[in-house]
A and B are shown apart, each in its own frame.
Chain A
Amino acid sequence: MSARNGPRPSSDVALDVRDLRMRYGTKDVLKGVSFAAQRGEVVALLGPNGAGKTTTIEILEGFRMRSAGDVLVLGQDPAHGDETWRARLGVVLQSWRDHGRWRVRDLLGYLARFYVPYSTPEVSRPWDVEELIRVVGLAEQANAKVQTLSGGQRRRLDVAIGIVGRPELVFLDEPTAGFDPHARREFHDLVHRLADFENTTVLLTTHDLDEAEKLADRILVLDGGTVVANGSAEQLARELTTQAEVRWTSGGHRNIHAVAEGDPTGFVRQLLAGDPEVTDLEVKRASLEDTYMALVHRAEAYRPESDGVGPDPAEQDQTQGEQVQDQQADPNRAEQSEGVQS
């Protein structure tokens, strides 16, 4: 396709996304997303509903055609990824009714066979099925039919299917949606194990800040189709939380001053220099959680108008906003993305 500008990424870069854009009709869903991920890194795409997380991950998986931008996934353009490239990727899909009659061991054994020809001296593929079943904690269900598994067990099977080919890079889209706290905890342990023992790069999407903080080495906050913050949870707190409150007592009065933007240090310096009677000085930053929640609320308030979608009660019942948003847009999307690629 187009010649890439800039130096080619080294083989340590698993994901390299530059100025990724996606447009459905007249609506820009991604307005220039750029980021990279190193091998072995766990990166979370965090964002409110409709921020473009699912669109981004589906473009990287090679399941959607982008409108513009340069994307390299394990050194290849996902729009033209061949089967050898596909064999190095793991996509964790949310199972629903598929392969319901299959037994767990049969299904994993069947899928594992596709990866045998892609085994290399560095990466022996696929996983040993029995070992994999044990790792994801399904040893007791190995002979069970998929349709008899509980939600949490089925999700662990999804992960097992996603990693059966010993992928170098794994995609997880809203992996714990609908999990109870226990299942969520188990799932988090599994992701840690993947990254630590297998040196697998993981890209996951979530709208849950807590999950992103627990799982990811690095968090990318996506809002309105652009990356608004990129870093560890601590870095994010510094980058995103610009609001601060300064409180002090002077001459028997309690004073509060809100600093909307930037560093409150300057204000404090002035305050102390100008008023020697200041006591009980407090500087309080908004927490990352407060800031993120504000972002989510803002995004949600904008959404219905910008989509031109009326207040449909059925929609508002949904708790998984991101999914709902994607689904509504989807029939059109599929048509349009076809148009883009042909």
Chain B
Amino acid sequence: MSATATTSRSMRNDARRAAVRAGLTRGWLETKYSITSASDLVWILAFPVIYAVVLLFMRGSTVPGTDFALGAMVLPSLVGMSIAFGGLTGPASTIAVDREDGTLLRAKATPNGMVGYLVGKILMFALTTLVGLIVLVIPAVTVASELRLDGRTVVLLALVFLVGMIATVPISVALGSLLKSASQTGLLFLGSMLLIVPSGIFYPITALPEWLQWVGQAFPYYWLGLGARSAMLPESMVTAEIGESWRTFEMFAVLGLWAVVGMVLAPIVLRRMARRESGSTVAAARERYMAKGY
């Protein structure tokens, strides 16, 4: 009896491992498909292009009261924003679309298919976000001399990226599961845009009214921007921050909290949503789509 129980448990573990490995394949394949597709490339390249334009306009301008180039100041904030944007909006809209077109149902019909699906998505968003960040380096070269670039920068940036992904992807998956249809993903983009206002990414948070500062500090955008600034800006720039500190501990604490909330919520919401999926719900979505014509 116990022998068979052990066998079935080891079989279950084998199956999960196989699903995780399949998920890694999925993530890699989807990344490959994504970066070779014109419509996705537009998104991946959007930030680098915008930044290049911003740099052009900010040529010669400095942060008020200092001789620090404004263009260099914006770069770390953009890095933080790329991470947050990639992690928060991407998975949510993908989940909503995949639910409508039957991708999730296929995952559900496959043994451990959901495990493979989630691993694949996380890897894909990490990789495509990373590609966007790397491309951002190209326009950034022009301001490289202003930045602090050493071993600490690399380690801190890698950590911010990793923690940022863990803090945003699960929350995004949960949000996407709550959407009723793929056409509602526009709301998420709108919400993200609104949250960027008090995030301190394009406008120093210390110049905002205090209540808005608190709103900004409740969301990952601000902290990811701060984390990237603390990694890339020279020590002297700390004076522009709240409390004149990089608040590294607080940054990891708040992002960690978001990660925990996301990891607790995402499986519950996702399971609840996936349980409802069946052939006829997908057929109904298709019918809705055909009837509306978009």
Measured CB to CB, the residues of A under 8 A from B are: 54, 57-58, 61, 63-64, 83-84, 86-87, 89, 91, 93-99, 101-102, 106, 110-111, 113-118, 161, 165, 173, 314, 323-324, 326-327, 330-331, 334, 337-338, 341
A114/B116 contact (C-beta < 8 A), A63-B277, A173-B279 known: yes
The winner among B26, B111, B275, B277 for most chain A CB atoms within 10 A is B111
A98/B291 contact (C-beta < 8 A), A110-B22, A117-B15 known: no
The reply to whether B279 and A83 contact each other, CB–CB distance below 8 Å, is: no
The winner among B33, B108, B283 for most chain A CB atoms within 10 A is B283
| Residue B113 lies at the interface, judged by CB distance under 8 Å to chain A | yes
The 29 listed contacts between A and B (C-beta, < 8 Å) are A54-B279, A54-B280, A58-B280, A63-B278, A83-B112, A84-B11, A84-B12, A86-B110, A93-B102, A93-B109, A93-B279, A94-B283, A97-B101, A97-B102, A99-B103, A99-B106, A101-B30, A106-B29, A110-B25, A113-B21, A113-B25, A114-B22, A117-B14, A323-B283, A326-B283, A326-B284, A330-B284, A337-B276, A341-B275
The reply to whether A114 and B276 contact each other, CB–CB distance below 8 Å, is: no
| Residue B286 lies at the interface, judged by CB distance under 8 Å to chain A | yes
The reply to whether B109 and A91 contact each other, CB–CB distance below 8 Å, is: yes
The reply to whether A96 and B11 contact each other, CB–CB distance below 8 Å, is: no
The reply to whether A64 and B25 contact each other, CB–CB distance below 8 Å, is: no
Q: Which of B104-151 contact A (CB under 8 A)?
A: 105-106, 108-113, 116
| Interface residues of chain B: helix, strand, loop or mixed (majority) | helix
* 0 or 1 for each of B82-109: is its CB under 8 Å from A? (1 = yes): 0000000000000000100111011011
A117/B29 contact (C-beta < 8 A), A86-B110, A330-B280, A338-B276 known: no
The reply to whether A334 and B105 contact each other, CB–CB distance below 8 Å, is: no
Please give the distance in Å from A332's CB to the nearest CB on chain B.
11
Chain B residues whose CB sits within 8 angstroms of the CB of A84 once the complex forms: 8, 11-12, 15, 111
A145's closest neighbor in chain B, by CB?
B33
9 closest A-B pairs by beta carbon, nearest first, are: A63-B278, A327-B284, A87-B111, A113-B22, A117-B15, A98-B103, A83-B111, A117-B14, A97-B101
The complex places the Cα of A165 from the Cα of B18 at a distance, in Å, of: 14
Please give the distance in Å from A304's CB to the nearest CB on chain B.
18
Chain A residues whose CB sits within 8 angstroms of the CB of B108 once the complex forms: 63
The winner among A83, A87, A161, A331 for most chain B CB atoms within 10 A is A83
Please give the distance in Å from B63's CB to the nearest CB on chain A.
43
The reply to whether A102 and B111 contact each other, CB–CB distance below 8 Å, is: no
Chain A residues whose CB sits within 8 angstroms of the CB of B6 once the complex forms: none
The reply to whether B106 and A102 contact each other, CB–CB distance below 8 Å, is: no
| Residue B236 lies at the interface, judged by CB distance under 8 Å to chain A | no
Chain B residues whose CB sits within 8 angstroms of the CB of A327 once the complex forms: 280, 283-284, 287
The complex places the Cα of A102 from the Cα of B34 at a distance, in Å, of: 10
Q: Which of B252-279 contact A (CB under 8 A)?
A: 272, 275-279
One of B22, B33, B272 near A102 (C-beta < 8 A): B33
Q: Which of B1-37 contact A (CB under 8 A)?
A: 8, 11-12, 14-15, 17-19, 21-22, 25-26, 29-30, 33, 37
The reply to whether B101 and A83 contact each other, CB–CB distance below 8 Å, is: no
* 0 or 1 for each of B58-84: is its CB under 8 Å from A? (1 = yes): 000000000000000000000000000
The winner among B98, B109, B281 for most chain A CB atoms within 10 A is B109
The reply to whether A115 and B278 contact each other, CB–CB distance below 8 Å, is: no
A101/B33 contact (C-beta < 8 A), A113-B21, A117-B15 known: yes
Chain B residues whose CB sits within 8 angstroms of the CB of A161 once the complex forms: 106
| Residue B238 lies at the interface, judged by CB distance under 8 Å to chain A | no
The reply to whether A110 and B29 contact each other, CB–CB distance below 8 Å, is: yes
The complex places the Cα of A211 from the Cα of B272 at a distance, in Å, of: 36
Chain B residues whose CB sits within 8 angstroms of the CB of A93 once the complex forms: 102, 105-106, 109, 279, 282
The reply to whether B25 and A323 contact each other, CB–CB distance below 8 Å, is: no
The reply to whether B280 and A94 contact each other, CB–CB distance below 8 Å, is: no
The complex places the Cα of A267 from the Cα of B52 at a distance, in Å, of: 95
Chain B residues whose CB sits within 8 angstroms of the CB of A83 once the complex forms: 12, 15, 111-112
Chain B residues whose CB sits within 8 angstroms of the CB of A115 once the complex forms: 111
The reply to whether B278 and A61 contact each other, CB–CB distance below 8 Å, is: yes
A113/B18 contact (C-beta < 8 A), A54-B280, A96-B102, A330-B280 known: yes
Chain A residues whose CB sits within 8 angstroms of the CB of B8 once the complex forms: 84
The reply to whether B103 and A117 contact each other, CB–CB distance below 8 Å, is: no
The reply to whether B291 and A314 contact each other, CB–CB distance below 8 Å, is: yes
One of A86, A94, A314 near B111 (C-beta < 8 A): A86
Please give the distance in Å from B41's CB to the nearest CB on chain A.
13
